[in-house]
Amino acid sequence: METILEIKNLKTHFFTKAGLIKAVDDISFKIKKGEIVGLVGESGSGKSITGFSIIGLIDAPGRIVSGSINFKNEPLLNASSNRMQSLRGNRLAMIFQDPMMTLNPVLRIDTQMIETIKAHDKNISNQEAFRRCRDTLGLVGISSPEERMKAYPHQFSGGMRQRVCIAIAMLNKPDLIIADEPTTALDVTIQGQVIYEMQELCKKTGTALLWITHDLAVVAGIASKICVMYAGRIVEQGSVDDIINKPMHPYTIGLIKSVPSQNKRGEPLHQIEGMVPSMLELPIGCAFHDRCTETIENCKIEKPIETNQSDSRVIRCFNFKDIRK
């Protein structure tokens, strides 16, 4: 399978008045064609910034300091803003967390959708663009799309709006969609519907998907690969089976053990001690060492480097081998 996106040693730092924040610090991963990759982490772990870095939405005081992002063998970091604009919404698309904020409240759905098509294809006729929008809306499970296209965003419910956002992302059949917590603002039953639609769409169109979430359970069912982030770094990545059933990094192990369904009812949950460190004052050495159960001396001094366990399995820890035994 060909690789759609390859990120190597990406560093995105924010030069704020309070100090340097290494929001994304040396991360590398790949996405293959048609693959669903889950990027999991707590708030402030840098998972959204990774998404924004790919699509080129990092604003001052943030800057991509070093590393490379290759999209279909084309380096994105050196691309001109014109080139980025022609990629965004066309080959690369993004779905944001809050469907209430992403749609323009004063424009009808059809205007917003047709705009997306016409921005990238000047020669398309209005009728043809309209037809494509209608079909895509039908595809994401909106009934009677022809009438609903005349509606304004406030006439839709949250779940429906998120579907419209998904439809807009899908319009130009992109090669990669970055979905930043697309179901967090939705109810359980609606979340099920949206996950289902996304799963179907990726299967039908061969679009790759980077699913950013804080909820391991959401990606466990749909992704084929998972990257776990902590304090700006990917601490472990591998296939879904490996990460969920055979986690090796102490943080991943702690996260999975603390999911309520993994514990006996009424018993105390397994908990990770301490709290997420402030990105301004990260501990020296491994950022997780003061919450970790397997800390050795080296963790407090040196930052662990990435080690490959197999083709797909990468882990950043000094002391993980003992854990596996």
Partner 1 sequence: MTDILKVLQVSKNFVKPIDIASKVVNMFGNFYNQEVVHAVDNVSFNVTSGEVVGVVGESGCGKSTLGRMIAGILPLTSGKLDFHDQHYSGFDEGNYKHNSHIDLKIQMIFQDPFSSLNPRQKIIDIISEAPIHHKLISKKDKKYFVKDILNKVGLGTDAMDRFPHQFSGGQRQRIGIARALAVSPEFIVCDESIAALDVSIQAQVINLFLKLRQDLNLTYLFISHDIGVIQHIADRVVVMYLGQIVETASSDEIFSHPNHPYTKALLQGVPTLDTKKKIYTPIKGEIPSPINPPSGCYFHPRCKFSTNKCITDKPSYKEVSPNHFSACHLNS
Which residues of the shown chain bind partner 1 in the complex (CB under 8 A)? Answer: 42-43, 157, 159-160, 187-193, 195-196, 199, 214-218, 220-222, 240-241, 244-245, 254-256, 258-263, 265-266, 268-273, 275-276
Of 61 and 221, the one with the shorter C-beta distance to partner 1 is: 221
Of 6 and 98, the one with the shorter C-beta distance to partner 1 is: 98
Rounded to a whole number of angstroms, the minimum distance from the CB of residue 102 to partner 1 is 19
Q: Do 225 and 237 contact (CB within 8 A), yes or no?
A: yes
Rounded to a whole number of angstroms, the minimum distance from the CB of residue 220 to partner 1 is 5
Tokens for 30, please give them: 């790949």
The kind and range of the H/E element at 155 are none
Of 59 and 273, the one with the shorter C-beta distance to partner 1 is: 273
Of 10 and 109, the one with the shorter C-beta distance to partner 1 is: 109
CA 169/CA 146 separation, integer angstroms: 18
Could you give the angle at which helices 158-170 and 109-120 cross, rounded to 10 degrees?
A: 20
Rounded to a whole number of angstroms, the minimum distance from the CB of residue 162 to partner 1 is 12
Of 262 and 298, the one with the shorter C-beta distance to partner 1 is: 262
Rounded to a whole number of angstroms, the minimum distance from the CB of residue 307 to partner 1 is 23
Position 269: which residue type? L
Of 71 and 211, the one with the shorter C-beta distance to partner 1 is: 211
Position 314: which residue type? V
Of 5 and 40, the one with the shorter C-beta distance to partner 1 is: 40
Rounded to a whole number of angstroms, the minimum distance from the CB of residue 221 to partner 1 is 4
Residue 227 CB contacts under 8 Å (≥ 6 apart), including other chains: 27, 29, 37, 38, 39, 40, 234, 236, 237
Position 313: which residue type? R
Rounded to a whole number of angstroms, the minimum distance from the CB of residue 122 to partner 1 is 37
Rounded to a whole number of angstroms, the minimum distance from the CB of residue 115 to partner 1 is 26
Position 167: which residue type? A
Strand partners, 307: 315
CA 111/CA 180 separation, integer angstroms: 24
Tokens 């990238």, residue?
A: 120
Rounded to a whole number of angstroms, the minimum distance from the CB of residue 259 to partner 1 is 6
Cis peptide leading into 260, omega within 30 of 0? no
CA 66/CA 302 separation, integer angstroms: 21
N-terminal to C-terminal alpha carbon distance within the chain: 33
Residue 63 CB contacts under 8 Å (≥ 6 apart), including other chains: 12, 13, 14, 15
State whether the Cα torsion 86-92-96-100 is positive or negative.
Answer: positive
Of 60 and 188, the one with the shorter C-beta distance to partner 1 is: 188
Rounded to a whole number of angstroms, the minimum distance from the CB of residue 255 to partner 1 is 6
Of 228 and 315, the one with the shorter C-beta distance to partner 1 is: 228
